[in-house]
Amino acid sequence: MFPFKFETYQDVKLNLAVVTLFALYVAWSAIFYVVLPPPHRRALTSSLGWLGHLKIQLGSFTALGIISAFLIYTIQIHDEVYDKHIVKWRATYDTGFILPQLCQPFHSRLDPSFDKVARQNSEVFMRDLYYEYVHDRDPRIKLNTIVRFYERITTYWGTQVVEMIAFVVLLVAVIYVPVYRYMHLPQKNLWLVMIFAGLGLWVNAAFSKRALEQVGRATMDEIEEIHSCCMTDLEGRVGKVCAEYGLKFN
């Protein structure tokens, strides 16, 4: 999808950083021009007025770019924060979908405790049994298959970023309701922002669900290709992991 690339995980991060920057800019514009009451907006503008309008715009864009890079590259908010503690999709996807599908050809030979041990040691099992084949550095399967997965996962994580930022806008608008009442200002703008933010969250949720389904299909494409080209190697890796954790593999 021009102008984005999806050949490596670093491409995914860059794409997400761009999406985050755009979403932050839209959110900041909505808050500054619509949510902030005129007195607050004038006070903020006058405090920075010595910079000039162009410098204020460039400075805002630069600051948002730094925030975007921090969120995606430093704390990896899409995967390590929001998903891990709020959505919790990855908690079950790795050991509830990927590993069972990947090891399906050996299901009758696996120890009854395999799934339980895999859940307890998911990082090791995923690294040794799955990531070995799909990493973008010297992959064991076709690069096109990996690229399709990166495209789908970028879309899904993008919806999570949009969800977080839309929720912040909604929250700020709600917080300003009593402020507007205290200042005896009409609340029409606030309600418009809350309605649009709510509709945005609803539409984004539907889009996110569809994106997640596509992630599942792209993952199955990877697994099927692993089965097609690397079954003997995969069998050996499963046997090795089982031996390391004292699991039977007949």
Q: Is residue 98 part of a domain?
A: yes
Q: Is residue 152 part of a domain?
A: yes
Answer whether residue 51 shows pLDDT above 60. Answer: no
Q: Is residue 2 part of a domain?
A: no
- Give the model confidence (pLDDT) of 2-34 as tens digits: 467 888 999 999 999 999 999 999 999 999 889
- Give the model confidence (pLDDT) of 168-179 as tens digits: 999 999 999 999
Q: Is residue 1 part of a domain?
A: no
**CA proximity to 80, closest of 71, 93, 67:** 71
Sign for the pseudo-dihedral over CA of 10, 16, 20, 26: positive
Confidence (pTM): 0.89
Q: How many structural domains are present in the chain? A: 1
On the CB side of 143, CA atoms within 13 Å amount to: 8
Q: Is residue 4 part of a domain?
A: no
Q: Which domain holds residue 222?
A: 9-244
**Contact assessment for residue 235 and residue 104, using Cβ atoms and an 8 Å cutoff:** no
Q: Is residue 39 part of a domain?
A: yes
Q: Is residue 125 part of a domain?
A: yes
Q: Is residue 81 part of a domain?
A: yes
